[in-house]
């Protein structure tokens, strides 16, 4: 009974903490509406294809776009561990994105930021297994970078949204 009372008291204090749900009102909310007005410009390369597909999955268009998202990627693989015969045993794949949210009405840049992540890859004797691990890492990194970009754009949309009555 004491735990229930403590939880009830804690629940009453939460509205005063100043936290607001990012996606309030679901797809009808101001953040989701803003995100649905963003078109993703083509991104070069295989990594670009993966990132743009992940972004399009998150920024579902609805009507004529008002904004364009321009993304430039930097994909690198660096060897870390070395055997006695100078062959690499470990790699780090790094994917960095510089992105800009452009207002299509006047060409102004509303958001200019970066996102990125990296993944470790074990290099094994099988070349096929190593290539498969590199590709899997790229797919995972593309998803992570797309999530970071979407989260930052959602925060920007929330800050720009008119206050709720």
What averages of pLDDT result for each successive group of 10 residues across the chain (165 residues)? 66 60 57 87 95 93 90 92 78 94 94 95 87 93 96 90 56
Reference 71, options 136, 152, 7; nearest CA is: 152
Q: Tell me, what's the pLDDT at 153?
A: 95
Q: What is the pLDDT of residue 23?
A: 53
Task: Report how far residue 115's alpha carbon sits from residue 78's, in angstroms, rounded to the nearest whole number.
Answer: 19
What pLDDT is stored for residue 161 in this prediction?
64
pLDDT at residue 9, as a whole number: 63
Report whether 38 contacts 67 (CB < 8 A). yes
Q: What is the pLDDT of residue 61?
A: 81
Query: In angstroms, what CA-CA distances link 150 with 40, 46, 128, 134?
Result: 11, 20, 33, 24
Residue 159 is predicted with a pLDDT of 84
Domains along the chain with CATH numbers: 25-160 (3.30.160.150)
> 95-130 burial by CB neighbour count: b if 16+ within 10 A, else e?
bbbebbbbeeeeeeeebeeebebebebebeeeeeeb
User: What is the pLDDT at residue 88?
Assistant: 81
The whole-angstrom separation of Cα 113 and Cα 150 is 12
Q: What is the per-residue pLDDT for 145? A: 97
pTM: 0.80
Give the position of tokens 């992940």.
Answer: 54
- Which two tokens mark 76? 């690198």
Rounded Cα–Cα distance for residues 17 and 9 (Å): 13
């Amino acid at each position: 009974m004491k735990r229930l009372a403590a939880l009830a008291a804690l629940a009453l204090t939460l509205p005063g903490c100043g936290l607001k749900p990012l996606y309030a009102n679901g797809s009808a909310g101001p953040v989701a509406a803003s995100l649905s007005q963003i078109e993703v410009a083509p991104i070069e390369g295989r990594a670009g294809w993966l990132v743009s597909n992940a972004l399009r999955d998150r920024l579902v268009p609805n009507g004529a776009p008002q904004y364009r998202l321009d993304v430039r990627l930097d994909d690198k693989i660096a060897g870390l561990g070395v055997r006695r015969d100078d062959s690499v045993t470990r790699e780090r794949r790094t994917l960095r994105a510089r992105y800009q949210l452009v207002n299509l009405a006047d060409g102004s840049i509303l958001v200019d930021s970066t996102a990125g992540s990296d993944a470790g890859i074990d290099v094994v004797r099988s070349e096929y297994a190593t290539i498969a691990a590199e590709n899997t890492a790229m797919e995972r990194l593309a998803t992570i970078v797309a999530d970071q970009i979407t989260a930052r754009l959602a925060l920007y949309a929330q800050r720009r949204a008119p206050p709720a009555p």
